[in-house]
Amino acid sequence: MNRVMRDLKSVRRPAFAGIIPAGEPVRLPIHFFAVAIFFFALGTAAAPWAAARLADYFYQLSVLAWVHTFTLGWITSAILGLIYCYVPAFGRRGLRFPRLAALQLVLYFLGASGVIAHFMLGSWDGVWMAGAVVALSVVLFALNVVPALAPDFGRGTAETGLLLGLFFLLCASSLGTMLAFDKEHSFIPGTLLRNLSAHAHLAAIGWIAMAVCGVSYRLSSAAESRPTPPGMPAAAIAQLFALAAAAMVLFAALMARIGNVAIWTVFTAAVLMLWLAIFQRRIRVLHTPALWTTFHALAAVVSLVLVLIAGIWLAVAGAGGAFGAHLACAYGLLGLLGFAGNFIIALSYHLFSGFVARVRSALGWPHLSRAELSVDGGRPLAFWGLNAGILMMAAGLLADRVEIAQVGGVLIAIAGLVYSAAMAWTLSFAYRRSSPEAPGRLLSAAQD
């Protein structure tokens, strides 16, 4: 805790490209990225074991622990870190309470770890208590970042998407806490699977998909840390509000049986297809020769299309029976690792080394280029292993062939550990002054 507090102290040096203005926490985003990489390595390493569990049935406490390793540990931690990176660049507004960020970081890590651990231990009381800690950390996060984002709500695409996403993150974490508490007290009406699906889609659509959309609209200026380009089409703002409406009505249809779930699922799919139409026209503005960044972004797009097809199928046919249960597993796998996972990996390749370089500059440490901070050699294995593993694991589950699903899990584990080791190495230079030894053997100048 003392180390974290020291890291979050203000740095009285000039701002670096508008990312770390004087008085802002320096390593705070890096801490969140480190947490995300830890959980990604943990989750992917457990993929072969999870494949066997998913082949039995998706509603098991151990499976819920594995899923939350990605939703809370990997995806949410990474997005929170990205928001902390960019808040100072939104209208040059810093964090409202910089020192509060240390407490928020610690609470979030303890809460997310507690949710995962207590799912594994089979303790619903532990799950809801840890979930309450996660919800509290989200409130503290909002206190810090909302004042910087709110002035451009409805005008800036990134600000609008992230604010809407934070609202749904708080709703999803609060609902998850109540569902865990309900296990012992039975005060929430409705069936188990519909309530679970309502919680999952509130998080997946309202938080994860919304945040991905908001961040993607900022990709054209991410490297330079400029505000959202003024030429962004008005359709992007409309798409974000439509996605928020879709998340709310789909939640209501599942939780309160208001309306037809299939109709609102199709509406949600149409809204996300609108995002794809906007995003595919802007993907070229990344201005990077990094082949694997583009490949992961394209894999995320393909995965999203498969997710939408599977989601509509499930909404029409339901998850009853062996095939429906396995399709629900494949649906979640493609959404978490195929769509969100690939998108975050693409962002990390494009941005993490630059963020570490800015931290070193703010601390007055020796300069390291993005090339010197990037490990290039394992990226083909990470891409092909991860995506082949996802498809093989999903196909094995759909075909009820557990051995095929486990081979896919092994590929996911290998790819995840290779990627995590490379990213951990990059992030480590935000914590040490030293320079890489013999970088020429590891790094590619093409990444700079």
d(C-alpha 69, C-alpha 237), whole Å:
31
d(C-alpha 191, C-alpha 29), whole Å:
39
Residue 187 — very low, low, confident or very high, per pLDDT cuts 50/70/90?
confident
Mean pLDDT of the region 209-226: 70
Q: Which residue has the higher pLDDT, 443 or 140?
A: 140
Mean pLDDT of the region 328-342: 95
Q: Which residue has the higher pLDDT, 101 or 17?
A: 101
pLDDT of residue 260: 84
pLDDT of residue 376: 85
**pLDDT at 60 > cutoff 80:** yes
Residue 307 — very low, low, confident or very high, per pLDDT cuts 50/70/90?
very high
In degrees, rounded to 5, the angle at the alpha carbon of residue 214 between the alpha carbons of residues 228 and 245 is: 125
**pLDDT at 91 > cutoff 60:** no
* CATH code assigned to 2-431: 1.20.210.10
**pLDDT at 184 > cutoff 70:** yes
On the CB side of 294, CA atoms within 13 Å amount to 12
pLDDT of residue 17: 38
d(C-alpha 167, C-alpha 280), whole Å:
27
Residue 219 — very low, low, confident or very high, per pLDDT cuts 50/70/90?
low
**pLDDT at 228 > cutoff 60:** no
pLDDT of residue 318: 81
**pLDDT at 327 > cutoff 70:** yes
Q: Which residues pair with 10 in a beta bridge?
A: 25
Residue 290 — very low, low, confident or very high, per pLDDT cuts 50/70/90?
low
Task: Give Dmax over CA atoms of the chain in angstroms.
Answer: 62
The answer to which of 23-37, 84-98, 303-317, 382-396 has the lowest mean pLDDT is: 84-98
Average pLDDT, the chain: 85
pLDDT of residue 92: 58
Mean pLDDT of the region 101-129: 95
Greatest mean pLDDT among 159-163, 321-325, 436-440 lies in 159-163
Q: Could you state, in order of their start, the residue ranges of all structural domains in the chain?
A: 2-431
d(C-alpha 19, C-alpha 121), whole Å:
41
**pLDDT at 198 > cutoff 50:** yes
Mean pLDDT of the region 266-292: 76
What are the Cα distances from residue 103, in Å, to 2, 28, 84? 11, 11, 14
Grouping H, G, I as helix, E, B as strand and the rest as coil, residue 349 is helix
pLDDT of residue 284: 54
pLDDT of residue 154: 86
d(C-alpha 76, C-alpha 112), whole Å:
10
Residue 162 — very low, low, confident or very high, per pLDDT cuts 50/70/90?
very high
What are the Cα distances from residue 168, in Å, to 127, 211, 280, 399? 20, 10, 25, 34
Q: Which amino acid is at 177?
A: T
**pLDDT at 344 > cutoff 70:** yes
